[in-house]
Amino acid sequence: MKEKVQLTKLAPNCGCAAKVGPGTLAGILGGLPKFCDSDLLVGTDTSDDAAVYRVSDDLALIQTLDFFTPVADDPYDFGQIAAANALSDVYAMGGTPKTALNIVAFPKDMDVEILGEILRGGADKVMEAGAVLAGGHTIQDDTPKYGLSVTGFVHPRKFWQNFGAQTGDKLILTKALGAGIVNTAIKADLVTEGARKAVLASMKKLNRDACEGFKEFEVHACTDVTGFGLGGHATEMAVASDRTVVIDTEKLPVLPDVKEFASMGLIPGGAYRNREFAEKTGVKSVAELWREDLVFDPQTSGGLLAAVPERDVQEIMKRLDAAGLQAGVIGEIVDRQEWTLVLR
C-alpha cells in the first residue's frame, strides 16, 4: 500500500460502538408498518439477530446484514472483524452461513489498495466460514465502512431466538468482554500490546465453534453480544422471556488490562446508552463500578450468550473448552422480579 492510514482515527465511534442506541432504535422501529406472512418465522417484533423465512418444511433462510466503521487500523484486520461480526448473526440463530454480499463505503481520495485489503480480509473470513462471497455494493463516503449481508440455512423448527429463557436456566457467554474499552484505549494511544493482540484475536474469531458447541443440546434462548453490550442484549432476552437475568460479574471472562483501562475512564459512549436502555426496565447492582461498565460495554464481534438447562452445562462447557474458547457460566435466569437485570 502506498498510503499508511490509522483507520480508527477516521471515525468518532469504532465498530459496533457506532450503533444507534437500543432505546432510540426501538422507538423508531415501533412506528414502522407491520408485515404479515405465515412463512416469516422471525421478523422485527422481538429485536432478534436476524430474520428467518421458511422456504419448505425442512428449510428456512436466515437473513442478516451488518456493517460499521473501522475497529482496527490494519485494513485486513478490519475486513476480517467486520465479516466475522456479520456472520455471527447466523450462528446466533443456530444456522449455517451460505452466501454473503459486501457492503462498502470508501473515501474517493483514499488509496484503493486499502480497500483491496479490507475486502481480502472479509473474503478470507467468509471462506473460513464455508460460505460463498457472491458480490456486493459500494458507495463513496468520507468515512470508510464495511460489512456483509449474509444468508444462512436452518431447519424451520430448530432455530434459536433471543427469547424463551426459562427459570433455572444457566447463562453461558462464549467470548471475553471488554472489546469496546480496549478499542477506546487503542484510539487514545494508551493500549498495551498484549491487550491489542487479545482484542484483535477475539474480534476476528468466528462464532462457528460456539454454535457447534450448543447444537446437540436444548437452547432456550440465544443471541450474540455486540453493540448493545452484555447488559443490553441480556435485557432484551429477559424482557422478551418475561424473566429476570442475574449476572455474576465476578465470573465474566475479561480481556487483558480491561480493569485498568476502565478505571482510567476509557469507557465508550455507547456503554452509557446501553445502561440507560437497561435501566428503563430496571437494573439492580451490587457489583464494582468497573464491572458494571464492563457489562454495558459495546462489543464488536462478541460471543454468543445462551440460556440452557442446568443439566447440560457441564458437557457444553467441555466442548467449548475443547474448542479453545474463553467461555464462562456467567449467570442464571430467575422468575420475573422488580428488576429485569441483576448484577452481583
Q: 137: annotated binding-site residue?
A: yes
Q: 46: annotated binding-site residue?
A: yes
Q: Are residues 240 and 104 in the same domain?
A: no
Q: Are residues 95 and 179 in the same domain?
A: no
Q: Are residues 111 and 179 in the same domain?
A: no
Cα 96 to Cα 223: distance, rounded to the nearest angstrom: 15
Q: Which residues share a beta bridge with 51?
A: 63
Cα 200 to Cα 256: distance, rounded to the nearest angstrom: 12
- For the domain that residue 203 is a member of, what is the CATH number? 3.90.650.10
From 53, 23, 299, select the one nearest 184 (Cα to Cα). Answer: 299
**HEC profile of 14-55:** CHHHHCCCHHHHHHHHCCCCCCCCCCEEECCCCCCCCEEEEC
- For the domain that residue 107 is a member of, what is the CATH number? 3.30.1330.10
Return the pLDDT at 76: 97
Q: Are residues 91 and 226 in the same domain?
A: no
Is 323 exposed, middle or buried, given 0-12, 13-18 or 19+ CB atoms closer than 10 A? middle
Q: 66: annotated binding-site residue?
A: yes
- Catalytic residue selected from 16, 36, 211, 222: 16
Domain region containing 222: 170-343
Q: 138: annotated binding-site residue?
A: yes
From 205, 235, 234, select the one nearest 326 (Cα to Cα). Answer: 205
Query: Which residue, of 111, 129, 154, is where some domain finishes?
Result: 154
Q: How does pLDDT run along the chain (344 residues), one tens digit per residue?
A: 555 777 887 776 655 555 565 656 666 666 777 778 999 999 877 777 799 999 999 999 999 999 999 999 999 999 999 999 999 999 999 999 999 999 999 999 999 999 999 999 999 999 999 999 999 999 999 999 999 999 999 999 999 999 999 999 999 999 999 999 999 999 899 999 999 999 999 999 999 999 999 999 999 999 999 999 999 999 999 999 999 999 999 999 999 999 999 999 999 999 999 999 999 999 999 999 999 999 999 999 999 999 999 999 999 999 999 999 999 999 999 999 999 999 99
Q: Are residues 64 and 191 in the same domain?
A: no
DSSP state of 251: G
Q: 77: annotated binding-site residue?
A: no
C-alpha pair distances (Å), 54 with each of 63, 101, 222: 11, 21, 20
Active-site annotation holds for 14: no
Q: 224: annotated binding-site residue?
A: yes
